[in-house]
């Protein structure tokens, strides 16, 4: 049985001339769809869509964030079984950033990043917000400079140990002196 995601020329080379069955199959899977992984679905579970669009590495991570209320569909908190359709607005809160995207396609499989980017379109407001946040992080102070009492250096550690060992010999809290 020919695989429908192969180009028509490759199918002919692998499986010979077209038969009536091949014509029926090609009508069911036309090459003009554009991308073979973008199927013509009407609705899809939000957790599966977030996974296929590469917002989360696994579906269980997507489900966890959905359960915690970090994802909203059309302004309403969504559960993992909520279905999305083309045209829905999805708001995703991860770390300190908020992304608002519009669903442009549905896919049942997790494809490469360029294919996943075809599944959504980020809103201009969301892009501007993310750019401003990136600029603020770029101009912010180095976090390591704010650490005052971190791990002591070798010299500071020797000074501390010398002070601790000398403390008992010099000072006594006993009443018997």
The mean per-residue pLDDT over the stretch 147-170 comes to 79
Q: Confidence band (pLDDT; 50, 70, 90) for 14?
A: low
Res 169: pLDDT = 56
CA–CA gap between residue 177 and residue 171 (Å, rounded): 10
The mean per-residue pLDDT over the stretch 150-164 comes to 87
Ramachandran category for residue 87: left, alpha or beta (phi over 0 → left; psi -120 to 50 → alpha): left
Give, to the nearest 10 degrees, the angle between helix 20-28 and helix 8-15: 150
pLDDT surpasses 90 at 50: yes
Cβ-proximal residues to 147 (8 Å cutoff; 6+ apart), any chain? none
Mean pLDDT, the chain, rounded, equals 80
Question: Is the pLDDT higher at 49 or at 36?
Answer: 49
Res 123: pLDDT = 96
Q: Confidence band (pLDDT; 50, 70, 90) for 32?
A: very low
Comparing 23-27, 61-65, 137-141, 162-166, the range with the smallest average pLDDT is 23-27
Question: Is the pLDDT higher at 47 or at 23?
Answer: 47
Burial label for 45, CB within 10 Å (0-12, 13-18, 19+), is buried
Comparing 38-42, 49-53, 80-84, the range with the smallest average pLDDT is 38-42
Q: Where are the beta strands (DSSP E) in 31-135?
A: 44-45, 71-73, 76-77, 83-84, 89-94, 97-103, 120-122
* Alpha-carbon separation of residue 129 from 27, 44, 54, 158 (angstroms): 45, 28, 20, 48
pTM for this prediction? 0.60
CA–CA gap between residue 104 and residue 32 (Å, rounded): 18
Domains of the chain: 1-33 (no CATH), 44-139 (3.10.290.10)
Burial label for 46, CB within 10 Å (0-12, 13-18, 19+), is buried
pLDDT surpasses 70 at 164: yes
Are 2 and 15 within 8 A, CB to CB?
yes
Comparing 86-90, 111-115, 170-174, the range with the smallest average pLDDT is 170-174
pLDDT surpasses 90 at 12: no
């Amino acid at each position: 049985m020919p695989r429908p995601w192969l180009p028509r020329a490759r199918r002919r080379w692998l499986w010979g001339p077209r038969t009536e069955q091949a014509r029926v199959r090609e009508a069911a899977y036309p090459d003009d769809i554009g991308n073979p992984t973008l199927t013509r679905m009407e609705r899809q579970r939000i957790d599966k869509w977030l996974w296929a669009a590469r917002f989360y590495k696994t579906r269980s991570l997507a489900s966890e964030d959905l359960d915690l209320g970090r994802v909203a569909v059309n302004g309403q908190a969504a559960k993992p079984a909520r279905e999305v359709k083309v045209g829905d607005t999805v708001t995703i809160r991860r770390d300190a950033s908020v992304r608002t995207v519009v669903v442009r396609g549905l896919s049942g499989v997790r494809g490469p990043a360029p294919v996943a980017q075809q599944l959504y379109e980020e809103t201009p407001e969301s892009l501007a917000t993310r750019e401003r946040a990136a600029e603020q992080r770029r101009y912010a102070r180095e976090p390591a400079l704010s650490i005052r009492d971190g791990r002591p250096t070798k010299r500071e550690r020797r000074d501390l140990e010398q002070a601790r060992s000398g403390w008992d010999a010099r000072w006594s809290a006993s009443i018997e002196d």
